[in-house]
């Protein structure tokens, strides 16, 4: 399994999802597994949990262009569906 290895900030950073600008709110660790899940909102916690993998979902807030701010409503796409984690893949996924 390949995980997204970075020392860069994850929570609070921006990326794109389906062509739309979004801001990362949290990592829902192992959301695509049944055994255990974790809701991580701190980059140090994410690093201690092994970084972002294909088994995670990322909670993001969409950018509202008209309002010039991020939405208070969030969505949680698969990590690999976000542009910044597109290289996170696995043959075992």
- Domain-located, residue 92: no
Q: How many domains does the chain have?
A: 1
- Is residue 6, in this structure, part of any structural domain at all? no
Containing structural domain, residue 22: 14-85
| Average pLDDT in the chain | 85
Which secondary structure element, helix H or strand E, spans residue 84, and what is its range? none
Averaged pLDDT for residues 21-28: 94
Q: Are 32 and 92 in contact (CB under 8 A)?
A: no
Res. 9: pLDDT tops 60: yes
Q: Is residue 90 part of a domain?
A: no
Question: In this structure, is residue 54 part of a structural domain?
Answer: yes
Digit-coded pLDDT (tens) for 57-88:
999 999 999 999 999 999 999 999 999 998 87
Distances (CA, A) of 52 to 18, 42, 66, 67, 69: 19, 12, 31, 30, 26
pLDDT for position 33: 78
Q: Is residue 35 part of a domain?
A: yes
Does residue 66 sit within a domain?
yes
Establish if 26 belongs to a structural domain: yes
Residue with tokens 């996924």: 93
Q: Which residue do the tokens 């939405």 mark?
A: 71
Q: Confirm whether 31 is domain-assigned.
A: yes
What predicted TM-score, i.e. pTM, was given to this entire model? 0.75
């Amino acid at each position: 399994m390949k995980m997204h290895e970075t020392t860069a900030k994850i929570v609070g950073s921006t990326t794109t999802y389906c062509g739309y600008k979004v801001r990362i709110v949290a990592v829902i660790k192992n959301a695509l597994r049944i055994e255990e899940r974790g809701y991580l909102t701190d980059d140090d916690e994410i690093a201690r949990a092994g970084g972002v993998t294909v088994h995670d979902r990322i909670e993001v807030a969409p950018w509202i262009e008209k309002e010039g701010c991020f939405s208070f409503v969030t969505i949680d796409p698969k990590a690999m569906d976000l542009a910044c984690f597109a290289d996170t893949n696995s043959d075992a996924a």
